[in-house]
Structure 1
Amino acid sequence: MQTELRLRIISGIVLAIAVLAATWFGGFAFRVLAAGIGVLIYYEWSTITRLADSDFRGNAFGWLAVALVAALVLFDFDELALPALLAATVIGIAYALVARSSRWLPGGIVYSGLTVISLAAIRGDTAHGFAAMLFIFAVVWATDILAYFIGRAIGGPKLAPSISPGKTWSGAIGGAVSAVVAGTLVHMAFFSLNGLWVPAIALVLSIFSQIGDLFESFIKRRFGVKDSSRLIPGHGGVMDRVDGLVFACFAAFLIALGDAIMKGTVNTPAGVFLFGP
């Protein structure tokens, strides 16, 4: 076995164990994971987009904003995290316009901060949150793995050749179908299946997962970068590993938030809205 492949397998196993352990324990352990992922994503985002070199003051504000959101989530002030992110985003946009700075600054704040908030909100401290995170993991991993193998086996028209030449429509469709099956099976391991809501949400999250993958590919191609960083041996960076998961969590969180706002029950955990029996 080649050294690079061995390193990739070992680091992948270690990461999977760490993530699943934090998901199992929930609470502070998972909030640490969510906050850490968000902070590392902003580090990679600011490096890829060269914010650190082009705009020191703007990048310093971005770090402050993401650190604040991460701290609020970490110490269980979730109700303040989203307003803080919205305020920081508005300030970032205003700063970018007035100072004629990079538009990537507010984008990085939103991408990183919403990652922290959505992950923590979905997992929460309930059994529903645990089931919800496993559901999302199953959807994202099935999408990623099966899209690769089905795409290679069938081939056909390219999905987005200017962004990611290796992806095909056959892979995208195969990954989505696989995600629906995997997500439905995980849900059925916890709750009875009533209606088409679970397969439908699995399909939506699979589509967003693939959009997230393409989004990161677009950013890296835009700045001529192969990997988001070298933080994970054999895998590249954190963004390389969680791009699909991040967008799937964005979609799940926003769906749950919209449902909560319409029903006037914003204090109910996101996992209950999405995956409650």
Structure 2
Amino acid sequence: MPNKLMMPGENQQPEKRPGHWLLAQIGKTVLRPGGLYLTNKMLTQLNITTSDDVIEFAPGVGLTAQITLTKRPKTYIAVEQNEQAAEIVRSYLNGDHQTCHINSAQETQLGSEIASIVYCEAMLTMQTSTRKKQIIEEANRLLKTNGRFGIHEMCIIPSDIDSNKQRYIQKVLTETIQHPAKPLTPKEWGQLLNECGFEIEYEAIAPMHLLEPARMLQDEGVIGCFKIFKNLATKPDVRKRVLNMRNVFRQHSDNLAAITFVVKKKPLI
């Protein structure tokens, strides 16, 4: 099972461990900002079928990947640059046409126009502006004409927020989760996708309630929540980090949200 494998960052002290891997190590399986609710909206719009060739960037602990695989796509390729994370991915791949390709999302080394669907979740937020653009352009290169690209990320609202306040929130998030975090506004996400050769077909926003009890119960179920709370009760250093992350999310709840887009590759003129 994936949760029995060593996860990235496990040999780091809790105060320095990236927030998403810290949460995974205490049993959190849903690490996406909009929870299963927004993941399911993205997957519904992508409408994966048995004729699709699917590529997923940075699948992490792989909950979305496992949902995708139940739809029995023609092929599935995970692109993961972390070797430990790749081992987790390999633990749930069980088909002849399911592979994990170790490389970066901005330069996958895969062929052009080989996919009908590409998607990623909670990874573009943690990239620089340049890297965001490179990854989205790589998705465009991998897709056939009219292929679809789905993203599920954190966003800062409203779109006309003061730029200084946006930068401050990005700074606080980075310090809190111990990993670079540069969420964009909904307008900025849309503009970036357009600039990289996509036209928007679907957009939805949800509250960023990743660590709120009601969302956790919805995402993890009673047994999953019990496991998480038990780990928090017995690991005070981890509990301190998690509560600090939740406090920051709550402090900026008026300006933090989750967003998903499903976009279509524009035909070359």
Q: State the TM-score, normalized to the length of structure 1.
A: 0.29
Question: Bigger radius of gyration, 1 or 2?
Answer: 1
Q: State the TM-score, normalized to the length of structure 2.
A: 0.30
Q: Which structure: greater strand fraction?
A: 2
Q: Which structure: greater helix fraction?
A: 1
